[in-house]
Copies of this chain bind each other. A is one copy, B any other.
Amino acid sequence: MIGKVSEPLWARLCACCSEIMTLPARSTMTRAGEKVTTSVLLLDGLMVRQIVDRAGDLLKVSLQVPGDFVDLHALPLGRLDHDVLTVNEARIALFPHEDIKAIMDDDAEYARALWAQTMIDASIHRQWTFRLGRLRAMAAMANFMCEMDVRMSQCGRSDGTAFPLPLTQSDLADFCGLSPVHVNRVLRDLRDAGLCTFRNGVVKVLDRAGLVKAGSFNPDYLFLPWTPASP
């Protein structure tokens, strides 16, 4: 979400970054229920938020791309309802809650801007709920790929036709609420339909219009800063 907050707020945030560090791939940063006292901005790499119930069922409920605040939503509540982990090696910037609160104290407009970031996150959650509840496997995967296409473009990780997505098919299953085997078949279907490919952690978009249609994707929920020129 770099570039999505105003210049002055961005400057204020930078000033209170307490640390920049690197997390190894496939490591757990925070577990559900833990107290959280710093917020994390993802600078590079991918991170995931996931829910695991007592029966061991697991769903990844969010995928964070560079520029996202990963757990800003923990600031008002103090703890998280889910786990946060890295996908690949991740570079992150830490912001102590106390310092962010000081920014909020300073200017309520800043407070609302930070709040807004978490509200876009919530809007994405709603879309994910819709995706899992009402889209068939192939449509869900297409929809997911469309979202990633847009978001990776937004953060400058796409060249317009392809972007890195260093996940396994099993990960994709956890994102789309499918079994790994079925993900494999769905990916083949998308490839056979000439819409997109997923190989070695890279997504190639072959037919963006077709992919958008297959996933009945509408990016409004992302609240992108620019107004799409499309009518």
State the CA gap A45–B104 with chains docked (Å).
Answer: 35
Complex CA–CA separation, A54 to B212 (angstroms) = 11
Whether the pair A126, B82 counts as a contact (CB closer than 8 A) is yes
Q: A54 to B101, Cβ gap below 8 A? A: no
| Complex alpha-carbon distance, A16 and B227, angstroms | 33
Q: Say which one of A88-96, A186-194, A203-211, A213-221 lies at the interface with B.
A: A213-221
Q: Among residues 118 to 142 in chain A, which have CB atoms less than 8 Å away from a CB atom of chain B?
A: 118-123, 125-130, 132-135
Let me know if A112 is at the binding interface, CB within 8 A. yes
Q: Copy number of this protein in the oligomer?
A: 2
How far is B108's CA from A128's CA once the two chains are assembled, in angstroms? 31
Contacts of A177 in B (CB 8 A): 132-134
* Bound CA–CA A88/B176 (angstroms): 33
Beta-carbon nearest neighbor of A58 in chain B: B134
A147 vs chain B, min Cβ distance (A): 13
- Contacts beyond the supplied A49-B126, A132-B133: 16 A-B pairs with Cβ under 8 Å: A53-B134, A53-B216, A57-B130, A57-B135, A57-B216, A61-B126, A73-B119, A76-B115, A76-B119, A77-B119, A77-B120, A81-B126, A81-B127, A81-B220, A81-B221, A132-B132
